[in-house]
Amino acid sequence: MNARHFLTNKVSRGVMTGIALLALGFLVIENAPAGRVLNDALVTHPFGHHIWQEVLMQNVGPDGAVDLAHLRAYPRRLNEYLGQLESASPENDPKAFPTREDQTAYWINAQNAIALRLILNRYPVSTITDVNELETSKHYKLGGKRYNLPQIRAKAIASSPGLPILFTLTDYSMSAPPIAARAYEGKALKGLSLQARKNTLASPSLIQFQRLPNGCVVTRISPFFRSLEAALFTPSIANEEDQDALSETKTPREDRPMSWPELLRSWAPPSLYADLGKPCSQTMEPLPAQPTLRQLQLLRS
């Protein structure tokens, strides 16, 4: 074979190989799992939550129940997302979170993801009370700094005081808002948090308003929301750790509401707005605790 024929055959083989690889690439993309971004590193600036989105899409039912058994058996993507959270946060990499909404979405997703990981560490469990370290553990880092869940919740709430962020957080029990099958993103944060508020106010197991014969209103809330009081209200019920977390924000504590009726007044049904403003409507009562976890069992091939 002369040199010309050799080069011609080599080029032809190279072209055919290139076509084959291109076809294979299309096949891989076509068969990629729903929500999967093939190169995770491409969405770190700005910070992306596509891995968390994938975890939610594949493991959360329409009512917010989570397939804990499947996640316990196949935790790789959740652990990879926790690794991303460990590497970057709005504090150590602010350029990755260009808007305030991006920062808030990070803290919401981080709280929900870490709470889920702590539950999985104890699985199989059926109630949130079986996870003793849920509120105290600082095992996981965010941007290189260790937090417990109350501190992360305080960050989320303080970073966006104009939005009902408290309804986006969960501990996966029946006393907490159900997790949405969608990751929170800065650009969609307002709409998603308002939808979470609507769903929560429509759930009598989480919040209730009872108008008494004298026109006063009694507000009842779930125990999960009581755990958020230190981050929500003024002046003295915040504990030292939450005060430290909030001291770095630009939201003065004196601008925060003083009570649940005051906080919920503008979000409650319009028919209750006037009555919730009455002095006799400042009563708040707890709803019974429902520690059972929202678990889902999916049929998987």
| pLDDT computed for residue 242 by the predictor | 46
Q: Are 234 and 256 in contact (CB under 8 A)?
A: yes
At residue 45 the predicted structure's pLDDT band, cuts being 50, 70 and 90, is: low
Q: Are 272 and 207 in contact (CB under 8 A)?
A: no
User: What does the CA dihedral 248, 253, 255, 256 come to, rounded to 10 degrees?
Assistant: 110
- Within-domain flag for 6: no
- Nearest Cα neighbor of 151 from 241, 86, 249 is 241
At residue 44 the predicted structure's pLDDT band, cuts being 50, 70 and 90, is: low
- Within-domain flag for 88: yes
**Mean pLDDT estimate for the chain:** 82
- Within-domain flag for 292: no
Cα 124 to Cα 69, 71, 172, distances in angstroms: 8, 11, 14
Domain of 189 in residue numbering reads as: 40-286
> Average pLDDT, stretch 260-266?
87
- Within-domain flag for 16: no
Quick: pLDDT tens for 169-208. Answer: 999 999 999 999 999 999 999 999 999 999 999 999 999 9
| pLDDT computed for residue 101 by the predictor | 96
For residue 217, count CB atoms less than 10 angstroms from its CB and return exposed for 0-12, middle for 13-18, buried for 19 or more: buried
> Average pLDDT, stretch 144-166?
91
8-state DSSP, 133? T
> Average pLDDT, stretch 27-50?
54
Quick: pLDDT tens for 112-136. Answer: 999 999 999 999 999 999 998 888 8
| pLDDT computed for residue 5 by the predictor | 46
| pLDDT computed for residue 87 by the predictor | 95
| pLDDT computed for residue 230 by the predictor | 83
Structural domain count, the chain: 1
Residue 160: pLDDT over 90? no
Q: Give the angle 21-22-23 at the CA atoms, nearest 5°.
A: 90
- Within-domain flag for 22: no
Residue 299: pLDDT over 60? no
- Within-domain flag for 17: no
- Within-domain flag for 170: yes
At residue 254 the predicted structure's pLDDT band, cuts being 50, 70 and 90, is: low
- Nearest Cα neighbor of 177 from 189, 164, 190, 158 is 164
- Within-domain flag for 141: yes
Q: Which residue has the higher pLDDT, 156 or 300?
A: 156
At residue 162 the predicted structure's pLDDT band, cuts being 50, 70 and 90, is: confident
Quick: pLDDT tens for 69-108. Answer: 999 999 999 999 999 999 999 999 999 999 999 999 999 9
Q: Which residue has the higher pLDDT, 32 or 274?
A: 274
